[in-house]
Amino acid sequence: MKMYYEKDVDTEVLANKTVAVIGYGSQGKGQSQNMADSGLKVIVGLREGGSSWKIAKDDGMDVRTIEDASKAADIIHILLPDEIQADIYNKSIAPYVESGNTISFSHGYNIHFKYIKVPEDVNVTMIAPKGPGSMVRRTYLEGFGIPGLVAVEKDATGNALQVALAMGKACGLSKAGILETTFREETETDLFGEQAILCGGVTELINAGFSTLVEAGYQPEIAYFETCHELKLIVDLIYEKGFAGMWNDVSNTAEFGGFTRRERIINPDAKAEMKKILEEIQKGKFTKEWSLEAKTNMPMLNRLRELESEEKIEKVGSKLRKACGLEKKAKEKEEKVVVVNFNKTKK
């Protein structure tokens, strides 16, 4: 394991360099503002008149079309959704890429699966915060940062790793630590984590537990608290203290029950399915499926979103979050970050 911290990174490699951040979603917003506040020359490349154009302008960013930003940049940091990156790269970025430039990403998807092909005389790097863009920005403003990953797929200039690390430091990641990886490792583990655990696995587990209690006659509100609401408290303990720290903080009853029953839920059959999911990712089966879905305007994804919104746990959860003031608190937190961002960039 190789970790890089503040003392290991020299940002002089970016002196007189222009970074074009393509996209202004959660990551684009957080990373571009952090880099600008760290003293880098940053341009935000967007579709003129698009929904993010005015937002980025109001945030005090130097906003240009994707084509103009790509022309002016030494480093082009692509933070667009995976499914549209290749099309926009080929049409609006590739014609302006010059020898010695760096093409950078925060997810290796399009490089690893070869949807984007970069000239041999151009660096291909990755700097990937391990958290949402809002946290990238918030922790930076608080004087710290979140951990990140760094990878080099192609080192055409001999200093690609130093360029990527300097970008990570400017985002605030080196204060927490930047772990070296590869495009393949980051892409395949990221997709697996999303599908089997963080997004797919955990939501199915929560809903299965909720439905089990409701079908047994328990109040839906109580079921929601026990299977969904309290999950954040447990995950926070694991995040801060690891498994052992979490077990130490819950009751002996919870610890004994958890230890003795957990393998009945995540059993050999579940692990076998996880292996199948990983193989589908490794062999490109998933990416072909997703590519076809994206090209046909996402009919399956839109239908699945609709079905999810109709789940009982979603209706019960929305009612309880409002009753407990959680939605209001979340909104106030988001608005606070927006105000801080605005004031910070206007100074």
Instruction: Flag whether 284 is marked binding.
Output: no
**pLDDT tens, position by position, 236-277:** 999 999 999 999 999 999 999 999 999 999 999 999 999 999
**66 phi/psi in degrees, rounded to 5:** -60, -40
Q: At what angle do helices 133-141 and 26-37 cross, to 10 degrees?
A: 30
User: Predicted confidence band at 336 (pLDDT cuts at 50, 70, 90)?
Assistant: low
Q: What is the mean pLDDT of residues 5-10?
A: 96
Residue 346 in any domain: the answer is: no
What is the reported pLDDT for 50? 86
Output the pLDDT for position 333.
63
State yes or no: 47 annotated in a binding site.
Answer: yes
What residues pair up with 128 in beta bridges, in sequence order?
149
Q: Between the CA of residue 280 and those of 182, 196, 329, 344, what are the distances in Å?
A: 19, 12, 40, 44
Domain boundary among 126, 153, 181: 181
Q: What pLDDT does 262 receive?
A: 97
- Flag whether 335 is marked binding: no
Quick: pLDDT tens for 202-220: 999 999 999 999 999 999 9
* Model pLDDT, residue 20: 98
Establish whether 133 is an annotated binding residue: yes
Please tell me whether residues 147 and 59 are part of one structural domain: yes
Which residues, other chains included, contact 68 with Cβ-Cβ below 8 Å and sequence gap of 6+? 45
Q: Helices 285-295 & 299-309, crossing angle to 10 degrees?
A: 90
108 and 221: one domain? no
Indicate the range of 55-59, 182-186, 270-274, 342-346 predicted with least confidence: 342-346
In whole angstroms, give the CA distance from residue 211 to residue 312.
9
Residues 95 and 220 in one domain: no
pLDDT at residue number 330: 65
Which residues are the active-site residues?
107
Q: How far apart are CA 248 and CA 338, in angstroms?
A: 37
How far is CA 66 from its chain centroid?
A: 22
DSSP string, 124-190: EEEEEESS-HHHHHHHHHTT----EEEEEEE-SSS-HHHHHHHHHHHTTGGGT-EEE--HHHHHHHH
Beta strand 123-129 with 41-46: parallel, antiparallel or unpaired?
Answer: unpaired
* Residue 186 forms part of a structural domain: no
- Whether 230 has a binding-site annotation, put simply, is yes
How confident is the model at residue 326, as a pLDDT? 78
> Does residue 257 share a domain with residue 211?
yes
Q: Are residues 132 and 241 in the same domain?
A: no
Domain annotation covers residue 343? no
Same domain, 85 and 216: no
Cα 265 versus chain centre, distance: 28
User: Does residue 170 sit in the same domain as residue 256?
Assistant: no
Same domain for 119 and 14: yes
* Residue whose C-alpha is closest to residue 167's, from 282, 31, 2: 31
Strand 62-65's sheet: what is its strand order?
A: 3-4, 178-180, 148-154, 123-129, 102-105, 75-78, 18-22, 41-46, 62-65
192 assigned to some structural domain = no
How does the average pLDDT of the chain come out, rounded?
94
Number of domains in the chain: 2
In a domain, 47, yes or no: yes
**Residue 77 falls inside a structural domain:** yes
Residue 49 — very low, low, confident or very high, per pLDDT cuts 50/70/90? confident
Report d(CA 321, CA 331) in Å as an integer: 12
Residue 310 is predicted with a pLDDT of: 94
HSE of 128, CA atoms in CB hemisphere, 13 A: 21
165 plus 273 within the same structural domain:
no
Query: pTM for the whole thing?
Result: 0.89
Q: Does residue 333 fall inside a structural domain? A: no
Angstrom distance (rounded) from CA 281 to CA 41: 37
Instruction: For residue 102, give the 3-state DSSP assignment.
Output: strand
Q: Give the residue numbers spanning the domain of 78.
A: 3-181
pLDDT in tens, 326-335: 766 666 666 5
Is 264 labeled as ligand-binding?
Answer: no
Q: Within 10 A of 262 (CB to CB), how many other CB atoms are there?
A: 10
Q: What is the pLDDT of residue 343?
A: 45
We report the CATH number of the domain holding residue 102 as 3.40.50.720
Share above pLDDT 90 across residues of the chain, in percent, rounded to a whole number: 91
Domain ends where: 147, 181, 215?
Answer: 181
Residue positions counted in the chain = 347
| Residue at 135 is within a domain | yes
Q: Domain check: are 134 and 24 in the same one?
A: yes
Query: Is there a single domain that holds both residue 34 and residue 132?
Result: yes
Annotation-wise, does 209 bind a ligand? no
**Could you tell me if 154 and 18 lie in one domain?**
yes
Q: For residue 298, what pLDDT band results from cuts at 50, 70 and 90?
A: very high
Condensed to tens digits (0 to 9), the pLDDT of residues 34-48 reads 999 999 999 999 999
